[in-house]
Every structure is written in structure tokens, then in C-alpha cells.
Chain A
């Protein structure tokens, strides 16, 4: 949940990168950490385990400057993607102001994407929220692998599988090369701030 500090005119919001195991959530944050040095306001913390799999979460604090006269501070998190870390995923998701759903474009991961989106839906529901309410952006990651002859799903297929009802902005990306990473975050931040602004107006 966003924190508003009226006296200091500061907004702190939380964006969570969600998606199936090994889809590239941590790689997204690593790219942001490397490429947006000016905005990054602290160390990126990764708590991983065997084979670089996220066990608890990754955390990256950022400052994105002034928006509506307020200093906006961002906290980026990733959840652990593996099925067995379900309770940790739910804990990290708590209070998310915006979500980036990172889908794996590999054809062999089609079902995992759908299961992970369903898991997000259920977890949001447990917090009285919904995938239809929360500011959400889709990212179709690993598009670079097409050049290596690896079977990928077409964007149209992924849209049909994951976004036909949600109809949220979706970006093709390669977190490894950085393509689409900044755009995804920017759109998610835009939607998140818009939603917070609306929330603020309602509470006034």
C-alpha cells in the first residue's frame, strides 16, 4: 500500500514483478539496477538459492523524481516463481500498488504462464483486490530467443492466453538485453500513479 507523507510531499509505492519460475523477473530488476543508476537509491537485494532461483524476494529501491509536486519513491520487488513458495509470494504481494506480470514467451512454458496468472488472481483476491482492479502491465519476455531458433509463442497467442479479458498494456521484452524493460516499468508506474491519484481524490 502506498505511503503518503504529506509534510514532506513524498509518495512511496510498491511495484511487484510476478510470473512463473525462471521467466526473468530478477533479470528485469538487474537490468533496471544497471541501467537506471541515477534513479536507483540503494542496493538491490536478492535472496536466492540453488541455481539462482529466487527464494524469498528481490528488492530494489528507486527515486523517480517529482510527480504532481511530490517526490516519488519506488520499491520494486520480485516474488519467488516456484510453485512451492506460495506463501512467500502472497506475503511479498501484500500492499502492491502496481504489478508487472512477466510471462515467459517460450512455447514450453505456456501452461506455467497461465497457472501463474491464476495464482496472482487468487492471491489478490485474498487481499480483497483483483487483477481487474490493480494497475497491471504484461511483459512477454525472452523474445530474443526467437533469433536462436527456439520455439516461442506468438504475441497474438500470448495475448489470447493471458490478456484477452484483462486488456492491459503488454510489452515484448528481453530482460537479458534490456529491450522493453524500461518501457514496461514506465507504463506500470504511470498506471500506478494514476490509480493512486484517483484514490487520493476519493479520500479527500
Chain B
């Protein structure tokens, strides 16, 4: 290929990639073209070609930088936020409270924290949503790297008389865990006899002892024993709190024999819709399925005892 056609090809590619917004690929081609000209003597309009290429390179470097600097989170318009609430609020119940909660959660998941915060704060007036709303307010502050604001808001809740003593204790523990993880220096007051509190009710005072995300699948890594170094990936068929149920095919008989009740599994990887995390668990039940399409397979229950 002669110089002219090589150069034309590189410039054409640079132009097309640039027009498609593929700035890095475009830069690469223009830089190759510049190098080719610099290494070749006797090109008539060498200087003007190099000047044009320098301008192109500058332009696309700036464009690429602009894209890189676009923040991962951006603010949507109010109409766009309404659409997100409509499209991404997955509520199994049709009651307005659940829909409102799911809508605010959808906003938070899309990084629209200011409006999500405003909506969660409105929910504080509803007893059935109060605790969940408060925890999501804390989560929003943390996601906005505004842990101190969460501490201030917790302080306000302490004086509000909205929460029962048990709820305040739960919120304190929840917040304490998060501020500690983030290395935020904060003193969180304990609810005392003088703290104004709401009368506890059964429905509003229900608190999950363990807050475990919905887990869709897990990977068991075998660190010792006959399967050392191997791993087994399984889908979660059912979850209640921190106990997950898995189905293991009868074909995995040797592995099943090694997974007995009481065995501690140290190296587990959990996949949830919003995060992948590691942890440990104990096999709490193992049953052979006697009937139905999965007859002969095994159902294994693992109690999650630690998550990182």
C-alpha cells in the first residue's frame, strides 16, 4: 500500500470514528497518521498536514476528556423522574403505600437522591412506612457521601417522638454500622428515659434481625477436602431472611455427600440484584426431594452467618 492510500485510510477512519463518538479510536488513527507523516521525508505539504492533524488531535482529546469527566450520576428532570417511578417501581402489592415506597426506592437506585429523600421524609408520617423510610433516608445520605447529615437527621428523629424506643435503637445500630464503615467520626446518642418516643405497635415495630439482600445465586468455593480448589455455582430457589434454599442435581452426588448439615462454608460468593458480596454460612438442612419434577435432587438450606 502506498503512502497516500495508507494516509487516506487512516484519516478516513479517524473521521468516521470521531463522527460516531468513538473518540479514543479516532485519536489512535490520527496519531498513527501523524507518526507516518513525521517518519516520511519528501512530503510536499508536510507542515500543513501536521498542523491539521494536531488540531484534530486536540479537538478529540478535549471531546474524550469531556466524556470521561461526565459524572456517573446526573440529575433528571422532574418528568424523567416521574417516568422512572412509573417504570421501575416493582411493587407486588397494589396499595398506595407500597407503590410510593417502591417509587422512592427506584429514584434512589437511579441516583436521584434529592427527590428520593423528599419522598422518604414524607413517608415518615405513616407509621407502617416510618422505619423503612428512615433507613432509606440514611442510605441516601450515605450514597451522597453525606454521613454527617444522616447523623444530624438521626438526632432530629430522637427528638421527634415519631419512633418507638426499639425503632430508635435499631436505627442507631443501623447508622452506627454505616458511619463506622465509612470512617466517619460521629457520636450517636442512645435513646434514654427522657427521649420522647412513640408507643410501640406490633406492625410498626417489626424489625428484621438480619438485613440480608435478596440473593439470586451463590458460588461455593471449596478450600479444603476432596474438592479443594473447585467451585459450585447454584441458583437460589427460595429465601427467608438469612436462610437460602438451593437445589442440587442428583448428578452432583459426590459433592452432595460432602455437604452435610452443620458444615461451615467459609468462602461463599453471593449474587444479588444490587451487589455481589462474599460471606460464610452453615448448612442448616439437606433433604432429598421425593416427588415432582425434581425428584431425586437435593434441597440444601444454608444459613448466612457472615457477609462482607
Which of A's residues lie within 8 Å of B, judged by CB?
A: 22, 45, 47, 49-53, 55-56, 59, 75, 82, 84-85, 87-88, 90-91, 94-95, 106, 108-109, 125-128, 145, 148-151
**CB <8 Å contact, A126 and B12:** no
Please pick, from A47, A109, A125, A150, the residue contacting B217 in the complex, using a CB distance under 8 A. A125
Which of B's residues lie within 8 Å of A, judged by CB?
A: 9, 12-13, 16-17, 20-22, 25, 28, 63, 66-67, 70, 72, 74, 76, 80, 83-84, 87-88, 90, 109-110, 216-217, 235-236, 271-274, 276
**CB <8 Å contact, B66 and A126:** no
In the complex, what residue of chain A is closest to B112 when comparing beta carbons?
A56
Cβ of B299 to closest chain A Cβ, rounded Å: 16
Q: How far is the CA of A55 from the CA of B67 in the complex (A)?
A: 11
Cβ of B25 to closest chain A Cβ, rounded Å: 5
Q: With A53-B21, A91-B110, A125-B271 given, is the CB distance from A47 to B12 under 8 Å?
A: no
Can you list 25 contacts pairing A with B, beta carbon distance less than 8 Å?
Answer: A22-B21, A22-B22, A47-B80, A49-B70, A50-B67, A51-B63, A51-B66, A53-B70, A55-B74, A59-B87, A82-B67, A84-B72, A88-B110, A90-B273, A91-B109, A94-B90, A94-B273, A95-B90, A106-B17, A106-B25, A108-B22, A109-B25, A126-B272, A127-B216, A148-B12
**CB <8 Å contact, B109 and A53:** no
- Chain A residues in 8 Å Cβ range of B271: 125-126
Cβ of B278 to closest chain A Cβ, rounded Å: 15
**CB <8 Å contact, A51 and B67:** yes
- Chain A residues in 8 Å Cβ range of B88: 91, 94
In the complex, what residue of chain B is closest to A82 when comparing beta carbons?
B67
In the complex, what residue of chain A is closest to B236 when comparing beta carbons?
A128
In the complex, what residue of chain B is closest to A128 when comparing beta carbons?
B216
**CB <8 Å contact, B273 and A50:** no
**CB <8 Å contact, A128 and B235:** yes
Cβ of B32 to closest chain A Cβ, rounded Å: 12
- Chain B residues in 8 Å Cβ range of A126: 216-217, 271-273, 276
Closest 9 CB pairs of A and B: A128-B216, A108-B25, A126-B271, A50-B70, A22-B21, A84-B72, A128-B235, A51-B21, A49-B70
Cβ of B28 to closest chain A Cβ, rounded Å: 8
In the complex, what residue of chain B is closest to A145 when comparing beta carbons?
B16
Cβ of B235 to closest chain A Cβ, rounded Å: 5
**CB <8 Å contact, A22 and B20:** yes
Q: How far is the CA of A55 from the CA of B17 in the complex (A)?
A: 20
Cβ of B90 to closest chain A Cβ, rounded Å: 7
- Chain A residues in 8 Å Cβ range of B217: 125-126, 128
**CB <8 Å contact, B66 and A50:** yes
Q: How far is the CA of A151 from the CA of B63 in the complex (A)?
A: 23
Q: How far is the CA of A163 from the CA of B74 in the complex (A)?
A: 35
Cβ of B290 to closest chain A Cβ, rounded Å: 21
In the complex, what residue of chain A is closest to B270 when comparing beta carbons?
A126
Q: How far is the CA of A125 from the CA of B273 in the complex (A)?
A: 9
Cβ of B82 to closest chain A Cβ, rounded Å: 11
- Chain A residues in 8 Å Cβ range of B110: 56, 88, 91
- Chain A residues in 8 Å Cβ range of B83: 45, 59
**CB <8 Å contact, B17 and A108:** yes
Please pick, from B22, B28, B72, B87, the residue contacting A85 in the complex, using a CB distance under 8 A. B72
Q: How far is the CA of A94 from the CA of B106 in the complex (A)?
A: 12
Q: How far is the CA of A22 from the CA of B16 in the complex (A)?
A: 12
Q: How far is the CA of A145 from the CA of B16 in the complex (A)?
A: 9
Q: How far is the CA of A51 from the CA of B63 in the complex (A)?
A: 8
**CB <8 Å contact, A45 and B80:** yes
- Chain A residues in 8 Å Cβ range of B276: 126
In the complex, what residue of chain A is closest to B13 when comparing beta carbons?
A150
- Chain A residues in 8 Å Cβ range of B70: 49-50, 53, 55
Q: How far is the CA of A151 from the CA of B46 in the complex (A)?
A: 26
Q: How far is the CA of A154 from the CA of B17 in the complex (A)?
A: 18
- Chain B residues in 8 Å Cβ range of A49: 70, 74
Cβ of B270 to closest chain A Cβ, rounded Å: 10
Q: How far is the CA of A50 from the CA of B71 in the complex (A)?
A: 10
In the complex, what residue of chain B is closest to A95 when comparing beta carbons?
B90
